[in-house]
Structure 1
């Protein structure tokens, strides 16, 4: 059994953003000192509930601060990111950390994020499967092109290739945050590990696990 820690980077009353972020970094360092296997980093925008707007950026810092700990995102919000750009970052962290990076992705919430980043509600409601499949292709294939509803581009080489990691042959672990039976099916059909969402009730979790 592996034991990990969830790092929210929340700002409590009377605290500043800097204090919240430094506390998040220190909690990851302590997790490694205590012998935990992993830390998982939350990503939020425009709310003090979580002051980390880029889980992959914080993951890069923590991978450099630690030597053994696996660091994952919980989650990188896929509807507000380009899957190729996110795949490039994941490959970079996978290779430079010696395979210690896990990429957790999810839909996030249909909040102001979709307006600010220009992705629109369609990216949240219907576009997640296309984004996820493009991301997985980027992490598994030597060259990728796209001709989908949201993404279309000529075939380009994948650089850096995740398989070039000197300590592992596979790409980074990809985990899907599941908050509905639909998302569970999506992950299961692709053979991906799942994170059951924190905001899902016990009965809903039981239903999803039973699928």
Structure 2
């Protein structure tokens, strides 16, 4: 098999590395989103996407509180600043995760209700929405790369053949990255639908 054309031309190699890094970041972000999607047992990662107003700054809950999972059906949120209890409780209540937090004045208990068939389907719908957002993000990165390659060809920095091969490589990279996130989503969907 011939060496990738983008690796042979310094400017194209750099473009390829930048595109790969950006696509890998999108995959990493997708994995982080998957961690916050409920499966049926309590996990501290379920609250990773929750953000609160911390003195005027939109802050992840994980940066202002300790989150533990004492058992499979309960999360405990203990803020480092007790004045945040009501703010955290409100953020948990208004999230689309379906929680009913209980504030005892020192910490917040978050019972994880058993998942109904309907709730599982809602979670899979949410999973598919997140998947599509990340697919679109990867395609946008591909578009940016294609524009760089086409501009290089237009400016006569690369030949038409090199342009065609570089565009093919970008498409191949895009397909691989999308396949990675689709596989992750499939595994998560199986996990969510398990009873």
Higher relative helix content: 2
State which structure, 1 or 2, has the greater radius of gyration over its C-alpha atoms.
2
TM-score of the two chains, using structure 2 as the length reference: 0.22
Relative contact order, higher structure (CA 8 A, sep 6+):
2
TM-score of the two chains, using structure 1 as the length reference: 0.21
